[in-house]
Amino acid sequence: DGGITQSPKYLFRKEGQNVTLSCEQNLNHDAMYWYRQDPGQGLRLIYYSQIVNDFQKGDIAEGYSVSREKKESFPLTVTSAQKNPTAFYLCASSGRALMTQYFGPGTRLTVL
């Protein structure tokens, strides 16, 4: 089945540690995105990538980093510089010339 997978579903981290969230898609989509969701705030764009080896900052990129070495993969690293990292993180992708984004199941990150 085609789709977007995110792992792990739940992630716990101690303050001061970096953590990497995985996102993989087998939809052959060009563009991939990372969003952060907090209660009552909708979704906010962290980073996006249109093609391999290229990515741009979204609205709330501070404290996050990404890479796009393969078309299928777009991992997100939450660094220790992110002051309030506890949130639900969603990955999405969209195809060539299409606006429609399809979402993965999400990863809930909790900082202890």
For other proteins, give the closer residue by CB, 81 or 98. 98
Q: Shortest Cβ distance from residue 30 to other proteins (Å)? A: 5
As a whole number of angstroms, the longest Cα–Cα distance in the chain is: 41
For other proteins, give the closer residue by CB, 43 or 79. 43
For other proteins, give the closer residue by CB, 58 or 79. 58
Going by C-beta distance under 8 Å and a sequence separation of 6 or more, which residues neighbour residue 3? Answer: 25, 26, 27, 102, 104
Assign residue 28 a region (left: φ > 0; alpha: ψ between -120 and 50; beta: otherwise).
left
Contacts with other proteins, residue ranges (CB under 8 A): 4, 6, 30-31, 40-45, 48, 50, 58, 88, 90, 92, 94-106, 108
